[in-house]
């Protein structure tokens, strides 16, 4: 039999073992929240907000330009690659 001190020590070690993942998860959530606040404060600065806004606008315009320039090319590479992910489907086969 275990003495009361040994039993308390064993229960403490078991408790610490099972609490470790939850403590790690709590630390990750604290870090995530802290980083979100820092990023929010950083992006609310007037000059940073303007640079981000124009950067997103330029990226959107670049993608629209790429889509407009490639409109004539009906390339089947993406559908073929997706069909190749499923067993029994062969790339290049017509979709039914």
* Residue 75 located in a structural domain: yes
Asked whether the predicted pLDDT for residue 96 surpasses 80, the reply is no
Structure confidence at residue 69 (pLDDT): 81
| First-residue to last-residue Cα distance in the chain | 72
Cβ-based neighbours of 83, under 8 Å, separated by 6 or more: 89, 90, 91, 92, 93, 95
Q: Decide if 93 is inside a domain.
A: no
User: What is d(CA 17, CA 24) in angstroms, rounded to the nearest whole number?
Assistant: 12
Q: How far, in Å, CA of 70 to CA of 64, rounded?
A: 10
User: CA geometry: angle at 94 spanning 89 and 96, to 5°?
Assistant: 85
* Tokens 């330009």 -> residue: 65
pLDDT per residue over 26-81, tens digit each? 999 999 999 999 999 999 999 999 999 999 999 999 999 988 887 666 677 777 77
DSSP state of 93: P
Task: Please state whether the predicted TM-score (pTM) of the whole model is above 0.75.
Answer: no
Domain for residue 63, yes or no?
A: yes
Query: Is position 71 within any domain?
Result: yes
In a domain, 95, yes or no: no
Domain limits for position 39:
4-83
């Amino acid at each position: 039999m275990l003495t009361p001190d040994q039993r308390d020590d064993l229960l403490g070690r078991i408790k610490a073992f099972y609490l470790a993942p939850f403590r790690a998860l709590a630390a990750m959530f604290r870090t995530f929240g802290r980083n979100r606040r820092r990023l929010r404060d950083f992006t609310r600065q007037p000059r940073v907000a303007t640079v981000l806004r124009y950067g997103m606008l330029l990226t959107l315009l670049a993608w629209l330009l790429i889509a407009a320039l490639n409109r004539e090319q009906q390339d089947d590479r993406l559908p073929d690659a997706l069909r190749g992910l499923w067993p029994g489907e062969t790339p290049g086969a017509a979709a039914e």
